[in-house]
Structure 1
Amino acid sequence: MSAEDHLHELKVWLERNGGYFHPHVRLRKAPSGCSVVASESLPPDSKIVSCPFTLAITKESTLSALSVLLGSPSTTRLTSWSERQLISTYLSFHWIIGDGESSKGVLAHFPYVKSLPARDQLRTPLHFTEAELELLKGSNLYGATLDRRREWEAEFEECRGVISAVDREWADQFTWELYLTAATHLSSRAFPSTLISQNLSLTSPGVPEPILLPGVDSLNHARAEPVSWVQSYLGSGPVPDAGSCLSLILHNPIAAGAELFNNYGPKPNSELILGYGFSLPNNPDDTIVLKIGGPQGGKWEVGRGARGVDPIWDSVLAMVQPEEGAEPTYDDHLDTADALAEMVQQLMDKLPRVSVPAPDDIREDVALMIQHYVEGQREILESLVEYTETKEWHGEVPAPET
């Protein structure tokens, strides 16, 4: 089947199981795997897609399915797995076992899994070539990528060990590439579990778990797009969630032929690239993480326009003061400005330089993502230089006593 056929199968399967797609939208093959396009103009506040809670892929549903596949002796070990391990292994088993009789009643998401983008379409840094990853050296994203690879590889080895104890042939097919692909699908498409709780909230107590909502995750991201995620309770009876679903509502009118977008929330390019595999040019939500050692040190996230820099200034100021708790002098402020400026300049000097068009061994879309990211990092650091200059030359550093 072609990619277009798989997308059509997803739509039919979702609707057959109580979900919904607006009759005037179409799913189209795209570099990201899928895009959703209006076949006719849509009025404001249109419901675009709904996913029943029964089709959501959650920690609980995947634990139940894997316990059946791997047998009750494995269940104790499965309960210690993270949400990512459970969901990624569950998705992987759709490819390992296939849509045959042996998977009936256990693996319930074949139309969804088949519609997901292939591994060669994924663009997170864990899918970069060595030459592409080398372009990130000198940036925070390079270290974050290596950390994520180590974490996910350790998870994979733990999962493979459990599978190998049950079926060696399954373990041979459960490769790192397969796990990485499934884990990337989760990182790039996950919703918070609070959306399908009885009390709909993005700020419920506790840590939300990642879940997958087939169909609702088909729309790509547009910053600040006005959307709503709305629960509907369609059923009645003794089970409170019977017939319940989550719907995506778009509040702007949509012209015929235009792509429809979801809003993943304000995210810096570092997060978009690492978790999703795309970037935004001149992203207003870009940030850089700065670390300062020592007893007064810490880690801070600073945004464009030096947003959030004041705690860093206070930390450096506390470090340069000769006497703890003393009132800072004019010279203390000057030393702080110099120290912060020097730190920022060192970070700027380390930032990679990326050219577009890219060299032959670098994919153009990857080079453009890295360029967007590095430009954002550089602009934030430049704003920090301006901040120190403002502190020093525009009256914010107290004048020396006469």
Structure 2
Amino acid sequence: MALYLCLHALPSAITKRVDGLDLRHHVYVEHLPSRDSMRTTLYFSAVERELLRGSNLHGATEEREAGWRQEWGEVVSWTTDEEVRKELTFDLWLWACTILSLYRHVRISGEQVFNTYGAKSNEELLLGYGFVLPSNPADFLALKLSLPPSAPACLLDLLSKLKLDQLRHHVPQSGEIPPELLAQMRLLVAQPDELDAVIERASAAASWQEAVGFVSWENELDVLDALEGMLVSKLQALQQGAVADKLDGVRPEVLEMVQIYRQGQTKILQAAVTWRQTVFEQTMDKAEEAGVSIVYEDDMEDIDEEDEEE
């Protein structure tokens, strides 16, 4: 479909060279947004893309561009006519792919066309559509859990068996961490004997909640410690890339959109940090009520120092 759009945008003298080519949607294509009007992040200049550094959107933009460049390269390699190959630039391919992203659900019926975006975060809106909403009720923070290369095969099998192999999660504006992410982290930080116990429970469990809804109080606190590191790291990266009110070479509308996006992400991360701290304190209280004595490394160091002094 992207190639079909591109062919409509090529000079007629070029497309006439292709035998059997039937391009019947010129009127429709002529009314599509132009390349100059695009404001998605793939149309950001190099300076403007730097405004995204430290955010999820920086990597997402590079990943999408790499994918579309690969597709474009494959299509160009199939094209045998040299003149068509010259005209079929990545700039044109980028425009066509962006149009398809904008209007993927549209059907041509001879009447006025309306498009609905649905409930999307500002990250999705800016990446795919080129705008953000200052007060977006559907905004969220995307968190992706990375599995270590050394993760044992039994862990990967367990994640798949429990249907916990989706590693990308959405954190709402309340900051509450998705329970599926917490379950995955319980498995990642579990001790060998704890993991064996989960595997045994999973063989008869009807859901992941039965198998890994809780492992141990020590495990739960380890999860919350690891979660703190993850959230603080992302928050620091986002804050270090804070955007000034005015920058040379940056379009004002782009600057405003990026500021709104980053502010929203920062607020959600701060809410998540607060949520984690609350849950951590509650978990400590529950562990003590259960008669579990939790000793941290810092506490052990203090004890060792006291012993040495004696």
TM-score (norm 2): 0.72
Query: Cα offset for 1:314?
Result: 2.5
Q: Tell me the distance in 1 between the aligned counterparts of 2:268 and 2:225.
A: 18
Alignment-derived partner of residue 367 in structure 1: 255
Question: May I ask how many residue pairs the two structures share in their alignment?
Answer: 252
Q: Tell me the distance in 2 between the aligned counterparts of 1:398 and 1:217.
A: 60
Deviation per residue, 1:161-190 (Å, 9 max, x gap): 222x1x211221111111111111111121
Q: Is the 8 A contact 1:96 1:173 kept in 2?
A: yes
Alignment-derived partner of residue 122 in structure 1: 38
Q: Any runs of at least 4 consecutive aligned residues in structure 1 with deviations exceeding 6 A, and if so which?
A: 214-217
Alignment-derived partner of residue 229 in structure 2: 342
The match for 1:332 among 219, 223, 227 is 219
Q: For residues 217 and 142 of structure 1, do their structure 2 counterparts lie closer, same or farther at Cα, with a shift above 3 Å needed?
A: farther
Q: Structure 1, unaligned stretches of length 5 or more?
A: 1-86, 192-210, 220-261
Q: Is the 8 A contact 1:334 1:397 kept in 2?
A: no
Superposition RMSD in Å? 2.9
Q: Tell me the distance in 2 between the aligned counterparts of 1:282 and 1:169.
A: 48
Report which of the two has the higher share of strand.
1
Query: Cα offset for 1:329?
Result: 4.3
Q: Identical aligned pairs, as a percentage?
A: 32
Query: Cα offset for 1:124?
Result: 1.1
Alignment-derived partner of residue 313 in structure 1: 182
Q: Check if 1:275 corresponds to 2:128.
A: yes
Alignment-derived partner of residue 284 in structure 1: 137
Q: Tell me the distance in 2 between the aligned counterparts of 1:381 and 1:310.
A: 17
Alignment-derived partner of residue 249 in structure 1: none
Report which of the two has the higher share of helix.
2
Deviation per residue, 1:10-62 (Å, 9 max, x gap): xxxxxxxxxxxxxxxxxxxxxxxxxxxxxxxxxxxxxxxxxxxxxxxxxxxxx
The match for 2:3 among 81, 89, 93 is 89
Q: Check if 1:355 corresponds to 2:244.
A: yes
Counterparts of 1:229-268 in structure 2, within 5 Å, are 262-268=115-121
- Which amino acid in the other structure matches residue 347 of structure 1? K
Q: Is the 8 A contact 2:221 2:283 kept in 1?
A: no
Q: For residues 127 and 329 of structure 1, do their structure 2 counterparts lie closer, same or farther at Cα, with a shift above 3 Å needed?
A: same
Q: Check if 1:293 corresponds to 2:209.
A: no
Query: Cα offset for 1:100?
Result: 11
Q: Structure 2, unaligned stretches of length 5 or more?
A: 160-166, 199-213, 292-310
Alignment-derived partner of residue 156 in structure 1: 72
Query: Cα offset for 1:300?
Result: 2.3
Q: Secondary structure of the residue that 2:185 maps to in structure 1? A: helix
- Which amino acid in the other structure matches residue 184 of structure 2? S
TM-score (norm 1): 0.56
Q: Tell me the distance in 1 between the aligned counterparts of 2:253 and 2:124.
A: 17
Q: For residues 100 and 349 of structure 1, do their structure 2 counterparts lie closer, same or farther at Cα, with a shift above 3 Å needed?
A: closer
Q: Is the 8 A contact 1:306 1:380 kept in 2?
A: yes
Alignment-derived partner of residue 163 in structure 2: none
Query: Cα offset for 1:132?
Result: 0.6
Q: Is the 8 A contact 1:123 1:278 kept in 2?
A: yes
Alignment-derived partner of residue 108 in structure 2: 213
Q: Tell me the distance in 2 between the aligned counterparts of 1:329 and 1:381.
A: 27
Q: Check if 1:182 corresponds to 2:129.
A: no
Query: Cα offset for 1:282?
Result: 2.7
Query: Cα offset for 1:307?
Result: 4.7
